[in-house]
């Protein structure tokens, strides 16, 4: 447990260092092509929604999977989010999707040996640099700060026949998120 916590502390310190030294705009350029690629891999290729839900609200698509974070209320910036997707979250069920994570110091400065028992699960498929950017752009475009998921969003994603969309309220019944 102590090892787990100290690994997490090291991870957070590495994230904070990343902030201090990063310059310029957010890594995720939120242009339409990236968002479109992100949407496609979110739906067809990546396992994220098994745990985070198709609409990023932390309600798993597969109930038996670990419950992922709710992106709609996430306070992460795009760079930190990308790092977490690359490296996972040590000591939790959040997998890493960089195929070379923990083989060198790219993830929170830790190799597998240093991470020990706290090493996150291996995410499959491993993702390319462009896929990391795309999925982050997609998550920010569609989920972060967007308020609760709506029926319209669900129907747009799954198509007009989707019976599962009944659990979401129509947009007209959802209060608009407070302006930042």
Residues that bind ligand HEC (CB under 6 A): 46-48, 50-52, 65-66, 68-69, 74, 76, 81, 84-85, 89, 92-95, 97, 135
Q: Is 111 exposed, middle or buried (0-12, 13-18, 19+ CB in 10 A)?
A: middle
Nearest approach in angstroms of CB 105 to ligand HEC is 21
CB 158 within 8 A of CB 59: no
CA distance 76 to 87: 15
Sign of CA dihedral 176, 179, 56, 64: negative
Which CB sits closer to ligand HEC, 98 or 151?
98
Nearest approach in angstroms of CB 162 to ligand HEC is 22
Which CB sits closer to ligand HEC, 9 or 173?
9
Nearest approach in angstroms of CB 47 to ligand HEC is 4
């Amino acid at each position: 447990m102590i090892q787990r916590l100290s690994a997490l502390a090291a991870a957070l310190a590495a994230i904070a260092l990343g902030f201090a030294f990063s310059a310029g705009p957010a890594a995720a350029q939120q242009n339409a092509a990236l968002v479109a690629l992100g949407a496609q891999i979110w739906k067809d290729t990546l396992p994220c929604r098994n745990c985070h839900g198709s609409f990023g609200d932390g309600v798993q698509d597969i109930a038996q999977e670990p419950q992922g974070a709710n992106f709609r209320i996430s306070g992460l910036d795009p760079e930190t989010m990308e790092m977490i997707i690359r490296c996972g979250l040590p000591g939790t069920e959040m997998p890493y999707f960089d195929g070379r994570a923990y083989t060198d110091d790219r993830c929170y400065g830790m190799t597998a040996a240093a991470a020990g028992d706290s090493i996150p699960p291996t995410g499959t498929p491993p993702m390319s640099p462009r896929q990391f950017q795309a999925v982050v752009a997609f998550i920010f475009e569609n989920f972060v700060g967007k308020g609760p998921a709506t029926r319209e969003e669900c129907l747009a994603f799954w198509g007009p026949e989707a019976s599962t969309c009944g659990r979401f309220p129509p947009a007209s019944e959802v209060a608009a998120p407070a302006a930042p």
